[in-house]
Amino acid sequence: MSVSHKIKVWLWPLLIMLLSIAVFQYLKATKPQAPATEISERAWGVEVMSLSQQDWNPHHTLYARVESNQRIKLVAPLSAEVKRLPFKEGALFMAGDTLLQLNPLEVNLTLQTAQAEFDEAQAAFDAEQQAQKTERKRLEQEQALYKIKQSDLARNQQLVARDLAAESSVDQARDALARQALALMNARLIVDQQTVKLKQLQARLDRSFANLNRTKLNVERSHVKAKVAGRVLQVAVAEGDQVNANSLLVEYYPLDSLELRAKLPAKTRLKIQQALDQNQPIQAWYRATGEQTALPLVRLAGEATSSGLDSFFQVPAELRHLRPGDVLEIVLEMPILRQGFAVPYSALYSSDRVYVVEQDRLVARAVSVVGEVELDNVRWALIEGELVEGDQLSVTHLPNAISGLLVTPQTFNGTRGRR
Q: Which of 315, 333, 351 finishes a domain? A: 333
Question: Tell me, what's the pLDDT at 181?
Answer: 80
* Distance between CA atoms of residues 340 and 332, nearest Å: 18
Together in a domain, 368 and 283: no
Per the model's pLDDT, the better-predicted residue between 168 and 73 turns out to be: 73
Q: How many residues does the chain have?
A: 419
User: SS3 for 45-110, per residue?
Assistant: EEEEEECCCEEECCEEEEEEEEEECCCEEEECCCCEEEEECCCCCCCEECCCCEEEEECHHHHHHH
Please indicate, yes or no, whether residues 352 and 381 belong to a single structural domain of this protein.
yes
- State whether 124 and 199 are in the same domain: yes
Query: What range does the domain containing 268 cover?
Result: 59-68+256-333
More confident residue, 295 or 57: 295
Residues 139 and 204 in one domain: yes
Q: CATH number of the domain that 404 lies in?
A: 2.40.420.20
Average pLDDT, the chain: 86
**pLDDT at residue 37 is higher than 60:** no
Does 396 reside within a domain? yes
For a pLDDT cut of 90, what percent of the chain falls above it?
Answer: 49
323 falls within a domain: yes
pLDDT of residue 419: 37
Q: 314 with 353, same domain?
A: no
Rounded CA gap, 63 and 283, in Å?
A: 14
Sheet holding 242-243, edge to edge: 223-225, 98-102, 80-84, 242-243
More confidently predicted of 177 and 195: 195
pLDDT digits (tens, 9 = 90+) for 247-286: 999 999 999 999 999 998 877 888 888 888 888 888 999 9
| 66 in Cβ contact with 326 (< 8 Å) | yes
User: Which among 228, 235, 233 is positioned nearest to 84, based on CA atoms?
Assistant: 235
| Domain annotation covers residue 24 | no
- Rounded percentage of the chain residues whose pLDDT exceeds 70: 91
Q: How confident is the model at residue 297, as a pLDDT?
A: 93
Query: Residue 377, SS3?
Result: coil
CATH code for the domain of 239 = 2.40.50.100
11 in a structural domain: no
Is residue 117 domain-shared with residue 209, that is, in the same domain? yes
Dihedral (C-alpha) 195, 198, 200, 203: value to the nearest 10 degrees?
-130
- Average pLDDT value for residue range 366-373: 87
Question: 233 and 205 in one domain?
Answer: no
Does residue 29 belong to any structural domain of this protein? no
Has residue 216 been placed in a domain?
Answer: yes
Average pLDDT over residues 403-410: 91
One domain, residues 96 and 231: yes
Given a contact cutoff of 8 angstroms between Cβ atoms, the answer to whether 382 and 61 are in contact is no
Query: Has residue 105 got a pLDDT over 80?
Result: yes
List, for residues 377-406, the tens digit of each pLDDT value. 888 999 888 899 999 999 999 999 999 999
In this structure, the answer to whether residues 273 and 349 fall within a common structural domain is no
Convert the pLDDT of each residue in 292-322 to its tens digit.
Answer: 899 999 999 988 888 788 999 999 999 989 9
Q: Read off the CATH number of the domain in which 267 is found.
A: 2.40.30.170
Whether 71 shows a pLDDT value over 70: the answer reads yes
pLDDT band at 417 (very low <50, low <70, confident <90, very high): very low
pLDDT in tens, 314-346: 999 999 899 999 999 999 988 888 888 999 999
pLDDT number for residue 5: 59
336, amino acid identity:
I
- Dmax (CA) for the chain in angstroms is 203
Cα–Cα dist 415/312, whole Å: 33
Query: How would residue 363 be classed by pLDDT, with cut points 50, 70 and 90?
Result: very high
Q: What is the DSSP letter of 337?
A: E
The mean pLDDT value for 176-183 works out to 78
Give 361's contacts (C-beta < 8 A, 6+ positions apart): 403, 404, 405, 406, 407
Query: Quick one: average pLDDT of 67-93?
Result: 94
Within a domain: residue 90? yes
Residues pairing with 294 in the sheet: 285
167-173 mean pLDDT:
72
Same domain for 139 and 217, yes or no, is yes
pLDDT of residue 35: 61
pLDDT of residue 128: 81
pLDDT the model gives residue 288:
82
CATH number for the domain spanning 153: value is: 1.20.120
Query: How many angstroms separate the CA atoms of 313 and 261, rounded?
Result: 7
Total of domains in the chain: 4
- The answer to whether residue 183 scores a pLDDT higher than 80 is no
207 and 86 Cβ atoms separated by less than 8 Å? no
Say how many C-beta atoms besides its own lie within 10 A of residue 100's C-beta: 24
Residue 193: the pLDDT is 83
Buried b (16+ CB within 10 A) or exposed e, 386-400: ebeeebbbbbbbbee
